A and B are shown apart, each in its own frame.
Chain A
Amino acid sequence: MVRGHQGKLTGQRSMIETHNLVKWYGPTLAVDRLSFQIPPGQIVGFLGPNGAGKTTTLRIVTGYMPPTSGRAVVANFNVLTESRAARSRIGYMPEASPLYPEMRIDEYLHFRGKLHGMNRTDRVRRIDELCARCGLDQVRRRVIGHLSKGNRQRVGMVQALLHDPPVIILDEPTSGLDPLQIVQIRHLLEELRQDHTILLSSHTLTEIERVADRIMIIRKGRLVADGTTDELCARARGDARITVVVMANSGVLKTELAKIEGIRQIETTPHDGWCHATVVPANGADVREPILAAVTAQGWRVREIKRREVNLEDYYLQLFRELDE
């Protein structure tokens, strides 16, 4: 990592900052007073439904389009007034990675490298290294127009990392990739974690949950949640759920389970002679053992007693259900 490449000042607090960003597309409000700070070295997942303003926000931060009002600062450079300084410190992979279909991968990457002012030795070294890491070795001489979607995404990824920018912005990096390729990208992001600041948007909640240090959720252009995965999940009502599968009459099971202390809600469904019960404990208490004790006392056959933590998806769905009401 080259020193001085980081930003204008050393010891800065944030690599990406926005202050009251607003973007109107004609009469439609896409981004509504969005403010956030991202400190160096953080991986931030940017979530939200389609049309929430994710891509618009990323486009403003990368300097592709100016905001209607407010400002965005990357590596201490204002993206509007010091645009080129800011842009040279950003690696950006747009959604659907739009590349030149008539060029070969190698040609294209050299072209991008040249635009970033890299000399030939650096370009060859970085392209070799990144193509190997992203699994593009075998196809480097191929014409981009003939590539599969996954490979095109990876070219977009390599292109964004080529000049080793301190700030990396990825719009839907894993869309269109197969599970194996997704794991590759995840490993790559893990490696980049140390000396890069990464902002990525995605629809795949499980993916984001694994990779991101922090999650920002936006809805109708406004930030509605911001925190680490654990913090957000802790906010979810009802936390863990316990699934119980026993051979019993569902009515009897329900009354027996209701006797246990610390249970807020029980739902039962009979299935093939087995009864499936979903138990929501109050205040996150772990009531697996009392349940087992109650069930064995009745002499029922037990198939499963399992506790499932609240994940990001539960929180996300709950958040949007509440906001819609």
Chain B
Amino acid sequence: MKLTLIIAKRELTSLFCSPIAYLVIGLFALGTSLIFTIHFSPGARAELRGPFTGILWLMIFVVPAISMRVISEEFRSGAIELLMTAPLSDTQVILGKWLGSLAFLATMMIPVVIMWLVLELYGSPDWGPILSGLLGMLLVGGLYLAIGVFASTITQNQVIAFLVAVFIICLLTIALYFLSQADALWRNLRMALDYMNVHERFEDFNKGVVALNNIIYFISGIAVFLFMAVKILESRRWR
């Protein structure tokens, strides 16, 4: 655990040293603010449900930009050799990298907190759905980062890592949405596909419902992708 945190801390500091990180923060802040301004109008309800749904779409493209470099850059520069000959396991490397990126994602959420404060100034929003929405967004972010870390282990090229992550995330959101609407498919299958959609799982959080099944959905998703990342990292030793 200690070694994992050491890796996480280094990853976080190093993210703040790279220009990509600031571009990502800027892009995310701009996007969230624009989304917020649409929803922020006189007479509208003092809630963040609308903006949260919009931000969720934004995350499809922003989150993979954080995680694309975590492992691919190590392989490109050769630094992985020193990391993998240090006395720590491949799981610790992957977990540390993921945790570091997650901490970065959390700091990136600051504009969302500011939106909440603005809402607090002009109205009296219900804290429940906002807090559960934030938790939901962190879980979605965690899942997308796990996908990103996985994509980053398969290539030395950051652009490819980014695109692969976006592709997988689109499968889990857009593709599942369309498939679940297809009349030609068996009804139960359509329901199952709809259930697996990340946006569907997030909707409950957005309504203020923190359900155990949704939490398990995200945690098991994160575990699956991180596990695959560890296995790919291990297999790269053999090549």
A residues within 8 Å of B by Cβ?
25, 59, 62-66, 84-85, 87-88, 90, 92, 94, 96, 98-103, 107, 111-112, 114-117, 159
Do A111 and B6 touch across chains, with their CB atoms under 8 A apart? yes
Render B81-111 as a binary contact track against A, CB cut-off 8 A, 1 for contact: 1101111110000000000000000000000
Q: Quick one: which of A62, A98, A114, A159 contacts B77, CB cutoff 8 A?
A: A98
Cβ contacts A to B, 26 pairs, < 8 Å: A59-B81, A62-B85, A63-B84, A63-B85, A64-B81, A64-B84, A65-B238, A66-B237, A84-B87, A85-B87, A88-B87, A90-B85, A94-B78, A98-B77, A98-B79, A98-B80, A98-B82, A100-B10, A102-B14, A102-B17, A103-B10, A103-B17, A111-B6, A111-B10, A115-B6, A115-B87
A65 nearest CB neighbor, chain B only: B237
- In the complex the two chains form, is A114's CB within 8 Å of B6's CB? yes
Instruction: Give the chain A neighbours of B185 by CB distance below 8 A.
Output: none
Residues on B with C-beta less than 8 A from A159 are 82
Find chain B residues with CB under 8 A from A98 CB: 77-82
**Size of chain B's interface in residues, with CB distance under 8 A?**
22
Give the residues from 182 to 239 in chain B that come closer than 8 angstroms, CB to CB, to chain A: 237-239
Q: Which of B93-142 contact A (CB under 8 A)?
A: none
CA separation between A59 and B79, bound complex, in Å? 13
Contact check, A96 vs B85: say whether CB atoms are below 8 A apart: no
Asked if A100 and B6 make an inter-chain contact with CB atoms under 8 angstroms apart, the answer reads no
Please tell me if the beta carbons of B89 and A96 are within 8 angstroms of each other in the complex.
Answer: no
List the B side residues contacting A25 at CB < 8 Å.
239
Residues of B bordering A, CB below 8 Å: 3, 6, 10, 13-14, 17-18, 77-82, 84-89, 237-239
Closest Cβ of chain A: how far from B14's Cβ, in Å?
A: 6
Are B3 and A115 in contact (CB-based, < 8 A)? yes
Let me know if A92 and B85 touch, CB within 8 A: yes
Residues in B whose Cβ lies below 8 Å from that of A88: 87
